[in-house]
Structure 1
Amino acid sequence: MATRADSALGTTAPDTCPVCGLRTLERVKPFCSARCADVDLGRWLTGAYAIPVPDDEDEDDEGS
């Protein structure tokens, strides 16, 4: 079974659910169920998944 870290890194097999590691179903692909799709959506909405952005040091100096 895939771990949460594997899922977040996208290292699960192509036909496995990124949330729990079970085989995917065509109607809810890339997930195995609507529940896992909802879990994934919830993670995005709560900020559990985030795309890293490099800090710009110039942003602090814009007002000066």
Structure 2
Amino acid sequence: MEWIPTSLFRPFCSKTCQLIDLGEWADEAKSIPCGANKDQETIKLPDFDIEDIEAMLSEQSEDFFKE
């Protein structure tokens, strides 16, 4: 296999190898590491009070969802 810019399946040697690699990613056999603890990277969303949300929505104009 010649590794040249015009190689059709570069960086793979063939379509078969390309599909095998794609299948491994799709089956999650391969993954990009996200750190020791995924939960530490989760963004904490603020707590919302349902009554505040309802009050905000009631202040919207009547034609808000109309075209």
**TM-score, normalising length from structure 2?**
0.46
Is the helix fraction higher in 1 or 2? 1
- Greater radius of gyration (CA): 2
**TM-score, normalising length from structure 1?**
0.48
